[in-house]
Chains A and B, each alone.
Chain A
Amino acid sequence: MSAVIDAHHDDHAHGPAKGITRWLYTTNHKDIGSMYLWFSFLMFLAGGVMALVIRAELFQPGQSFVEPHFFNQMTTMHGLVMVFGAIMPAFVGLANWMLPMMVGAPDMALPRMNNLSFWILPFASALLISTLFMEGGGPDFGWTMYAPLSTTYAPDSVTFVIFAIHLLGASSIMGAINIIATILNMRAPGMTLMKMPMFVWTWLITAYLLIAVMPVLAGAVTMMLFDIHFGTSFFDAAGGGDPVLFQHIFWFFGHPEVYIMILPAFGIVSHVIPAFSRKRLFGYDSMVYATSSIAFLSFIVWAHHMFTVGMPLAGQLFFMYATMLIAVPTGVKVFNWISTMWRGSMTFETPMLFALAFVFLFTIGGFSGVMLSIAPADYQYHDTYFVVAHFHYVLVSGSLFSIFSAVYFWLPKWTGYMYSEGLGKVHFWLSFLGVNLAFFPMHFSGLAGMPRRIPDYALQFANFNAWSTVGAFIFGLSQLLFLYVVIQSIRGGQKATAQVWDGAEGLEWTVPSPAPYHTFATPPEVK
């Protein structure tokens, strides 16, 4: 039997196939991971251009740049593209590259389904983005798709958006199933659960969240579809339904969803900070338990997104207190990262800079989250730019910065060459400046009462908005530098050693750089 396996194994063991079909037909986790990462960068640029359209319009009061209807399409598509096209696929790409290497596996558990998960994305995104060019325009009801804006008053293109979301959800579910099977079934002998690297742990928990909530989103948009096309009245009070029902179902998906976009980031930072502090991660066990607690809590806090919609007092109190609880495990994590750095031999290469900025700026986003969780205060903050500031601090300087950190950290392992440290640092400082200039003033404009998703605003918000726009353009344009640094590292440069970073630990640093096409033919022993 093993002879059969060997014979079959040989015809693809020598490296990648040639030409375009290598990418179309591949079953290799590294190829698929690369495609995920490139695709997500492309979507990041597309969503970024939409963000810059929004910021250009808001540079000064009055209608200056685009029509309000188009502005609404931009805010909607920017959200959908960044969430489903950029951040989530980037984390899945990192999972594809790193999980098999980290657990000592030859590949992902279900390699063909892995390729299917990826190739669904371009078609789904094409379906989504094509709506911008349809009659009546693209979706203009916000990425949260609240009924009845997304049903009774939606443009016809909403049908395409619904199916695009079905496809994206199917892709995520298959990706998550694959990741769970890989982690639970493919670990090298000796790698017990509590010896798994943190990135593996956080992705395992993220995958459970994905399988639990992506079908719920599919259910929500399916009800939208039926309300639009088949005369049902789920979200129409006239027929006995309730538009608030949509918000409940959406946020039952939506709140775990934001943790889907931050838990893998926690994992990345838990690798980078120990490596550049030259110390073991402080409190590994508590990190695992904190991550699990956050995941559990994410299921019982959803209605804090809808305090102003009208909810019984008991409900508001429950969701307020449950939400505040999340600060406890999150605080455990932040203090663990700080304790890891305490008395470490720290150096500040680009991945570390992004990880440090993550800890600072994500914590700011966490604090504004605690402010928003206070139901009576939320009546004031709700739907203002304060909320926009909050979630961009956790998603841009949180999730996205961790992705940058991960790319710089593992890029030498992927390409075999060191990236340009100088340019990497320039990219970091420009991004850091741009992010804070773009999003910090939004706290002030929001607290002063500026509503979100509106193309025009009162004069007193003009200065804040001008700064935000300048910051957004600095941030956006500096990502072209990131692209340049990555391409440079792919094309050549200083050879990377197998270890790459002297403080880094884990199986991925035991194999040469670049990592061989099939990393482990037989599993390594983990002591």
Chain B
Amino acid sequence: MAQEQAGGHELYYVPSESKLPVWLAFGLGVMLYGLASWMNSTHTGGHGNEILMLVGFLVVAVALYRWFAAVIAENHAGLNSSQVKRSYVWGMGWFIFSEVMFFAAFFGALFYIRFLALPWLGGEGEKGIAGQYLWPDFSPDWAAGVTNPHPAWAGPGETLAAPSLSNWLAYLPFYNTVILLTSSVTIHVAHTALKAGDRRKLNLWLGITVLLGILFIGVQIEEYVQAYRDMGLTLDSGIYGSTFFLLTGFHGFHVTLGTFMLIVILARCLKGHFTKEDHFGFEATAWYWHFVDVVWLGLFLFVYVF
């Protein structure tokens, strides 16, 4: 941390004015306006503004690409003092924490439903009286996930709850757990190789990590297809399907984003970016990947196993 330089302090690099933030904000606004109007049009029958959504998305994508390119160029030009670099580290760390809290809301919903609301709805406990009045015949069975109080929600025929251990070899979520845990190890090996200056090994293990990420997404798609096609487990099949698809879906979305980030840093590695000492772009992605992994462990335990 070279704080002191001859006769005083290292200057902090404050970037000169930039067109990117206001364009990005504009793109986000347009994209979400288009998305909302498109969503509404699907059930009101009016016309939506999908075009706006796509235009907004394009603006967002271009702005983000140029933003990251600018930051990388600044770093390569040596503009970033160690203090500036620390700011980026703080930024990424707290961004991941905000993501943790986003998932915490969904996990909280799952626990509240499973352990409080559903038993009450089934007539148990202090608040059970409402359930006895509304749906006296309803008795919740989470493991089966099949019943809902009102027939408008059909309920899935079966759920993806974990079978007995001996059957795990035919259980897709088990494979995904292995894949994701392995990928956390492989990216760590790649990181170690980067720090040791072994570029060939770095590229190899980072490439393997990317493949594992893609494999995970593939298995999850297969799992969703089975759920929709064979099991009747859908988003609108009642509360089991709601929590299942929201939690695993948003996780899958984050894996997709993480895989995209991995592909980007793989491309950068192949171009010769990152040095032994200076590779925060790599580390930030690795952190994100580990975070996605930890969330999956929570999912596997509380959505699938228990």
Our verdict on whether A and B bind, yes or no, reads: yes
Band of interface residues on A = 35 or more
Residues from chain A with Cβ under 8 Å of B153 in the complex:
233, 238-240
Instruction: Please determine whether A233 and B32 come into contact, CB atoms closer than 8 angstroms.
Output: no
- Using known A-B contacts A4-B79, A112-B20, A215-B105, determine if residue A106 contacts B12 with beta carbons closer than 8 Å: yes
Inter-chain contact A231/B9, CB cutoff 8 Å: no
Known: A127-B33, A240-B148. A177 touches B112 (CB 8 A): no
Given A110-B87, A233-B238, A523-B9; A242-B24 close (CB under 8 Å): no
Q: Is the CB of A215 within 8 A of B25?
A: no
Residues of A within 8 A of B24 (CB): 116, 119
CB pair B17–A27 under 8 Å, yes or no, is: yes
Binds B, one of A7-15, A364-372, A430-438, A468-476: A7-15
The reply to whether B117 and A313 contact each other, CB–CB distance below 8 Å, is no
Contact of A126 among B20, B29, B243 (CB under 8 A): B29
- In chain B, what residue has the closest Cβ to A518? B14
Contact with A along B65-80 (1 / 0, CB 8 A): 0010000000001110
Taking the nearest CB of chain B, how far is it from the CB of A91, in angstroms?
A: 18
Q: Does B240 belong to the interface (CB within 8 Å)?
A: yes
Q: Which A residues, 10 to 40, have Cβ-Cβ distances below 8 Å to chain B? A: 11-12, 17, 21-22, 24-27
Question: Which of A216-224, A378-386, A503-511 sits within the interface?
Answer: A216-224
Counting CB contacts under 8 A, is A115 at the interface?
yes
> Nearest-CB distance from B238 to chain A (Å)?
5
Cβ-neighbour of B14 out of A27, A159, A162, A231 (below 8 A): A27
In the complex, how many angstroms separate the beta carbon of B108 from the nearest chain A beta carbon?
A: 7
> Is there contact, CB below 8 Å, between B11 and A5?
yes
A277 to chain B, nearest CB (A): 35
Cα separation A2 to B102 with both chains bound (whole Å): 41
Residues in B with CB closer than 8 Å to A163 are 32-33, 35-36
Cβ–Cβ contact B112 & A181, under 8 A: no
Residue of A nearest to B90 (CB): A181
| A113 within 8 Å of B (CB atoms) | yes
Least CB separation from B126: chain A residue: A312
Pair B113/A216 contact, Cβ less than 8 Å: no
Residues of A close to B10: CB separation below 8 A:
2, 5
Q: How far is the CA of A17 from the CA of B91 in the complex (A)?
A: 28
Complex interface: chain A residues within 8 A of B42 (CB): 229
Contact in complex: A123, B246 (CB < 8 Å): no
Docked CA distance A222–B150 (Å): 23
Q: Which residues of B contact A25 (CB under 8 A)?
A: 17-19, 21-22
Residues B149 and A239 in contact, CB atoms below 8 Å apart? yes
Chain A residues lying within 8 Å of B13, measured Cβ to Cβ, are 5, 8-9
Given A2-B10, A185-B83, residue A115 in contact with residue B22 (CB < 8 A): yes
What are 30 residue pairs bridging A and B, where the CB atoms are less than 8 Å apart in the complex?
A2-B5, A2-B11, A5-B10, A12-B17, A25-B21, A106-B14, A107-B12, A107-B14, A113-B91, A116-B24, A120-B28, A160-B37, A164-B32, A177-B94, A180-B90, A185-B87, A189-B9, A219-B109, A232-B242, A234-B243, A238-B153, A239-B152, A240-B118, A240-B148, A240-B238, A241-B113, A241-B242, A242-B113, A311-B127, A523-B9
4 closest A-B pairs by CB: A231-B236, A219-B105, A123-B29, A240-B239
- Where the two chains meet, the residues of A that have a C-beta atom closer than 8 Å to any C-beta of B are 1-2, 4-6, 8-9, 11-12, 17, 21-22, 24-27, 105-107, 109-113, 115-116, 119-120, 122-124, 126-127, 156, 159-160, 162-164, 166-167, 170, 173, 176-178, 180-182, 184-186, 189, 211-216, 218-220, 222-223, 225-226, 229-234, 237-242, 244-245, 248-249, 252, 310-313, 518, 521-523
